[in-house]
Amino acid sequence: MKKLGPYLAFTKKSFLGRSAYRFDHFMGIFDTILRIFIFWEIYRALYGGRSEVDGITLTMVTTNFILAMGLDAAFFVDDYYLPSRIQSGSIATELLLPVSVHGRMLADNLGNALFQLIFHFVPAVTVSVHVIGIAAPTGPLVLLLFLLSALLGYGVLWTISFAAQMFSFWLINIWSIVTIKNSLIKVLSGSMIPLWFMPDWMQGVIRFTPFSSIFFLPVQIYLGQLSLAEILRSFLIQLFWIAVLFLIGMLLWKKGQKKLVVQGG
**What is the structure's pLDDT at 53?**
85
Handedness of CA 181, 182, 183, 186 (dihedral sign): positive
C-alpha 71/C-alpha 73 separation (Å) is 5
**What is the structure's pLDDT at 248?**
97
**What is the structure's pLDDT at 251?**
96
**In angstroms, what CA-CA distances link 4 with 11, 88, 114, 148, 253?**
11, 27, 17, 22, 22
**What is the structure's pLDDT at 257?**
86
**What is the structure's pLDDT at 265?**
47
pLDDT tens for the chain, 265 residues long, are: 557 888 999 899 998 888 777 788 888 889 889 989 999 999 999 898 888 888 899 999 999 989 998 899 899 999 999 999 988 888 888 888 888 998 999 999 999 999 999 888 999 999 998 999 898 998 899 999 999 999 999 999 999 999 999 999 998 889 999 999 999 999 999 888 889 989 889 988 998 999 999 999 999 999 999 999 999 999 999 999 999 999 999 999 999 888 777 655 4
Specify the pairing of strand 52-53 against strand 56-57.
antiparallel
Q: For the whole model, what pTM was predicted?
A: 0.93
C-alpha 81/C-alpha 235 separation (Å) is 28
| Angle formed by the axes of helices 122-131 and 22-47, nearest 10° | 30
